[in-house]
């Protein structure tokens, strides 16, 4: 058995032969409390991996990193051959000592392993993103039947006829129904119809004499894999889903297989068929579960954001259709804004939505409908916006003319909240109703801003609102919260990138709303250096992925997801990439300062 743990990056990408080479060259060394392992002025010829204890990285008297079990230090120093920092044992440490010569030889023959030491920022982020699939089967094997079953059962009585069954199944496009006959429940399927036609059974025959009562069932909380195994063993296409023995649904084989290959298909299908807010509340919970599953598959936050945006848009649209009169829907545009509009909101956060009404149209029920919609979203897990940027606020349900007036005031007569409101609106996407109402308002905003350099100067200045938490010697700058050293990913990294790209997109009249699509267009048009655009995109992707991982961990522990992370809980590679990402943010902010002349008054 190997004495070295190869399950953590970057060592998890080594081949069996490469692992043998590395392990054969490794030594185990013990260091006492306060003993110095590396220091400035001393050549670095070893990479250390902590087996036990704590090691601190020091810049002068300041602690800039702490290394725990499985953490490696210091890849940068190893490549450079020297370090600017001291590495001092805090608690007696047992470490692996990996020789420089062996590691550098491995980097030459294994590109992914070499990315940990040499690659550009974009290559490093890309290499990390490719580490998918390791948790895929574990995730699928732990999925439950309740995560998948989409079809509520259709019931008929045993006295009803075959013709009644045909009509009901045609109406609901169903392939099976359940039949109540006395105290028993049976099942009748399209396969049974085939046999009846062949046998010449009259259409007025009662179902109670034809259906099968030997139901093959799966409990709601049973593992999904067991349901698949049952279908395979019994050579059947569906099972009855039960809860405490009572039938509550039908799980079709096609739906189960769709789940394994394309989980979002089921949710989209359920959204189209939902006819109550109760059903939509259940589906909203499934969207979060979908994020957990696909993250386990290695799907990146960027792709997840667009998928969740699509599903959320259908969820919001279906909710609006259930609550709003058809006339209101036809004469208005329901829109989402901010991260939801950009397709970068993965886990549920505050509501940001608005309603634009056709000029001259009035609806007596407007206030109650909008309140019901905001309440429904809160029930689905989207908390109310602290700033009340929601349709239940009269300031965010306006006629087209009133919205244009509001845009004019935000640009030329700004109040305290004008910049924030405008930034949120710039990312708006229509989800229901007449999208032309939003498009005309967006076109009007572009007309207002033509050649107005002073506006872009004011608008872009928001990137200076928060400092980038990266200090001299690339140390991560944290703040104490609840006894832990924490770092705010949104303020320190995500917001300045998103808003900086938003400012450039607004200046150049781009129609794209998603930050990554905006970056691509800016690079294609020569408005932004392609290498910088690539680094910014990869850095943002990494920050979003990091926030997603921390958010899912928080939800699993019963805590709300947020933007704060503890760098001490990250792996060595994650901390290194976080430093790289924040370094890219700093570079991008420097470019923006020059471009928008933010240093001038």
Among 235-239, 315-319, 343-347, 444-448, name the one with the lowest average pLDDT. 235-239
Q: Are 47 and 107 in contact (CB under 8 A)?
A: no
pLDDT of residue 1: 45
Rounded Cα distance between 391 and 331, Å, is 15
Q: What is the mean pLDDT of residues 62-80?
A: 78
pTM for this model (two decimals): 0.68
21 vs 131, residue with greater confidence = 21
pLDDT of residue 141: 52
pLDDT of residue 149: 63
Q: What is the mean pLDDT of residues 8-26?
A: 85
Q: Give, for 290, the enclosing helix (H) or strand (E).
A: helix 277-296
Among 353-362, 508-517, 540-549, 564-573, name the one with the lowest average pLDDT. 564-573
**Sign of the CA dihedral 431, 434, 440, 441?**
negative
Burial class (CB in 10 A: 0-12, 13-18, 19+), 234: exposed
- When pLDDT is cut at 50, 70 and 90, the band that residue 116 belongs to is low
Q: What is the 3-state secondary structure (H, E, C) of 495-537?
A: HHHHHHHHHHHHHCCCCCCCHHHHHHHHHHCCCCCHHHHHHHH
Pair type for strands 46-59 and 62-67: antiparallel
pLDDT of residue 132: 44
Q: What is the mean pLDDT of residues 500-524?
A: 96
pLDDT of residue 560: 85
β-bridge mates for residue 357, sequence order: 332, 399
β-bridge mates for residue 246, sequence order: 243
pLDDT of residue 450: 83
Q: What is the pLDDT of residues 157-167, one digit of tens each?
A: 999 999 999 99
Residue burial 419-442, b: 16+ Cβ < 10 Å; e: rest:
bebbbbbbbbbbbbbbeebbebbe
Q: What is the pLDDT of residues 383-432, one digit of tens each?
A: 999 999 999 999 999 999 999 999 999 999 988 899 999 999 999 999 99
pLDDT of residue 136: 43
DSSP state at residue 387: T
* Mean pLDDT computed over every residue of the chain: 86
Judged against a pLDDT cut of 50, whether residue 336 lies above it is answered with yes
Judged against a pLDDT cut of 70, whether residue 600 lies above it is answered with no
**Angle between helical axes of 453-460 and 418-426 (0-180°, round to 10):** 100
Domains of the chain listed by start with CATH number: 11-117 (2.60.120.10), 140-261 (3.10.580.10), 300-410+425-443 (3.30.460.10), 461-595 (1.20.120)
- When pLDDT is cut at 50, 70 and 90, the band that residue 297 belongs to is low
**Sign of the CA dihedral 105, 109, 115, 120?**
positive
């Amino acid at each position: 058995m190997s004495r070295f743990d190869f399950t953590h990056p970057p060592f998890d990408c080594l081949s069996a032969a490469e692992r043998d080479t590395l392990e054969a060259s490794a030594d185990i060394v013990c260091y006492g409390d306060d003993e110095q392992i590396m220091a400035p002025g001393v050549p670095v010829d070893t990479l250390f991996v902590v087996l036990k204890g704590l090691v601190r990285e020091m810049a002068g008297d300041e602690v800039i990193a702490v290394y725990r079990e499985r953490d490696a230090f210091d890849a940068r120093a190893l490549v450079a051959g020297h370090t600017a920092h001291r590495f001092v044992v805090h608690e007696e440490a047992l470490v692996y000592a990996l020789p420089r010569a062996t590691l550098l030889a491995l980097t030459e023959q294994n590109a992914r392993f070499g990315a940990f030491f040499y690659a550009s920022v974009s290559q490093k982020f890309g290499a990390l993103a490719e580490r998918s699939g390791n948790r895929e089967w574990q995730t699928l094997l732990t999925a439950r039947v309740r995560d998948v079953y989409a079809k509520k059962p259709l019931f008929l009585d045993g006295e009803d006829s075959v013709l009644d069954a045909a009509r009901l199944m045609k109406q609901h496009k169903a392939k099976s129904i359940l039949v109540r006959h006395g105290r028993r429940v049976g099942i009748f399927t399209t396969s049974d119809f085939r046999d009846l036609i062949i046998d010449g059974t009259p259409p007025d025959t009662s179902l109670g004499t034809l259906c099968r009562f030997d139901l093959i069932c799966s409990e709601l909380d049973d593992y999904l894999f067991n349901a698949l195994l049952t279908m395979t063993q019994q050579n059947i296409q569906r099972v009855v889903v039960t809860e405490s023995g009572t039938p509550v649904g039908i799980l079709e084989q096609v739906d189960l297989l769709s789940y394994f290959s394309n989980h979002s298909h089921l949710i989209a299908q359920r959204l189209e068929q939902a006819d109550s807010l109760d059903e939509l509340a259940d589906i909203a919970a499934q969207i979060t579960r979908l994020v957990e599953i696909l993250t386990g598959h290695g799907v990146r936050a960027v792709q997840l954001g667009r998928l969740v945006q699509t599903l959320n848009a259908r969820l919001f649209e279906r909710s609006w259709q259930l609550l709003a009169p058809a006339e209101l829907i036809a004469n208005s545009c329901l829109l989402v804004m901010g991260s939801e509009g950009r397709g970068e909101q993965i886990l549920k956060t505050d509501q940001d939505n608005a309603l634009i009404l056709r000029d001259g149209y009035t609806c007596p029920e407007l206030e109650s409908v909008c309140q019901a919609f905001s309440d429904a979203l809160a029930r689905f897990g989207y908390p109310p916006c602290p700033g009340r940027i929601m349709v239940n606020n009269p300031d965010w349900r306006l006629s087209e003319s009133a919205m244009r007036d509001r845009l004019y005031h935000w640009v030329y007569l700004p109040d305290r909240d004008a910049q924030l409101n405008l930034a949120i609106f710039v990312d708006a996407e229509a989800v229901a109703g007449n999208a032309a109402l939003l498009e005309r308002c967006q076109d009007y905003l572009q007309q207002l801003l033509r050649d107005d350099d002073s506006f872009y100067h004011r608008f872009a200045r928001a990137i200076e609102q928060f400092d980038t938490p990266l200090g001299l010697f690339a140390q991560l700058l944290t703040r104490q919260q609840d006894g832990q050293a924490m770092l705010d990913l949104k303020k320190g990294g995500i917001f300045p990138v998103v808003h900086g790209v938003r400012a450039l997109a607004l200046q150049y009249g781009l129609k794209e709303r998603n930050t990554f699509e905006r970056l691509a267009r800016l690079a294609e048009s020569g408005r932004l250096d392609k290498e910088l655009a690539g680094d910014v995109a990869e850095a943002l992707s990494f920050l979003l992925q990091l926030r997603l991982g921390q958010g899912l961990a928080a939800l699993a522990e019963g805590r709300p997801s947020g933007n704060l992370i503890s760098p001490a809980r990250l792996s060595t590679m994650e901390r290194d990439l976080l430093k790289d990402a924040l370094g890219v943010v700093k570079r991008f902010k420097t470019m923006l300062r020059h471009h928008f002349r933010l240093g001038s008054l």
